[in-house]
Amino acid sequence: MRCVSAWSPAGLSGIFETHIVEDPLLTGARGAGLALKKGVTVTACESEQQGVKISISDGGKIIPTVSTVAKKLLSMFPGQLGVEIYVDVSVPIGGGLGTSGASALATALALGRLLGLRVSYLDLARIAHVAEVECKTGLGTVSGLVVGGVVIVVRPGAPGNDLVDRLLFDKDMKAIIGFFGSRSKPEILSSARLPLIDTVGKRLIDELIHERSLEKLLEVSKRFSLETGLATESVKRAFKALEEAGIPYAGQTQIGDAVFTLVHDEQVDRAVGVLNNLKAKTIVSEISWEPARLV
């Protein structure tokens, strides 16, 4: 049984401004966030049974973008082939950590290679982006995952239509995430508060583009979550506790009930201690300068 594996970093956004139009390749979001070394590995294997079988690590719920990508790629395959897809996710699902986009992208790379499709990396990334838009699980996640690092999405759209810049960071910089629970992204993205989200997002992203730094990214991310009302009570408590511990720069993962900050090695234990005291599921990850790839 032949198998191909691909890995994608998980990714979080601290701030966004939606851009939703009829064409999914032009739909997307401006925003800023980062790619994590913790991520998603997808293995696609040939199967003797027809159809697509999808398994998620720890028996989790099927991620809709995976099946959507699989259907799109199999429709491009000239023959009949059964496929089994195994998705191993190393971060919480539904916490604003880009698992839908990462799973879509890793699935596209692994399955595209398994099928021997004559398509490029960019082609597969665009398919993953469209799957996210159609499933209403995200708008600009894939744009950051095909670049890696700490990113600013300056122009929205699918890879190839977008414009993504990267910020530099020290090699000992770590991302600390405190996860409190899941949230429904489709519900929020279709809510009546979207005009306010976009107004605040546009203003603060413009500030970040004018002053491109990690500190500014975290500052506008915090202000975005508070000014839009997206910050949960758990996130607000975490902001306060981190600030009292001497870590003033933090943001909320969008869209999740989770907080994140970027600190140097000597501050990791302090940040983790603060979040553990708040009963958060705490994740420590390096930032991935590498984009999604075959493994």
pLDDT at 61: 75
pLDDT at 190: 65
- 55 shares its domain with 187: no
Mean pLDDT, residues 259-272 taken together: 97
* pLDDT interval class at 51 (50, 70, 90): confident
Mean pLDDT, residues 47-74 taken together: 89
Residue type, 20: I
Q: Say whether pLDDT at 81 is over 90.
A: no
- 150 shares its domain with 21: yes
- 145 shares its domain with 242: no
Q: What digits encode the pLDDT tens for the residues 160-192? A: 999 999 999 999 999 999 999 887 766 676 677
- 161 shares its domain with 195: no
**Residue position matching structure tokens 């300068």:** 289
- 278 shares its domain with 173: yes
- 232 shares its domain with 140: no
- 154 shares its domain with 14: yes
3-state helix, strand, coil in the chain (%, to 5): 40, 30, 30
* Strand residues in 142-231 grouped as ranges (E): 150-155, 163-167, 174-181
Residues above pLDDT 70, as percent of the chain? 97
- 90 shares its domain with 129: yes
Round the average pLDDT of the chain to a whole number and report it: 94
Give phi and psi for 194, each to the nearest 5: -60, -40
pLDDT at 287: 98
Contact 238, 194 (CB under 8 A): no
Structural domain total, the chain: 2
Structural domain containing residue 269: 169-286
* Strand residues in 168-272 grouped as ranges (E): 174-181, 251-252, 257-263
Contact 108, 9 (CB under 8 A): no
CATH number at residue 26: 3.30.230.10
CATH number at residue 206: 3.30.70.890
- 187 shares its domain with 249: yes
Choose the weakest-confidence range: 87-101, 162-176, 199-213, 258-272.
87-101
Burial of 249 (0-12, 13-18, 19+ CB in 10 A): middle
pLDDT at 186: 66
Residues 176 and 64: their CA atoms lie apart, in Å, by 27
Residues 4 and 1: their CA atoms lie apart, in Å, by 10
Q: What digits encode the pLDDT tens for the residues 107-125? A: 999 999 999 999 999 999 9
pLDDT at 87: 97
- 15 shares its domain with 118: yes
- 147 shares its domain with 190: no
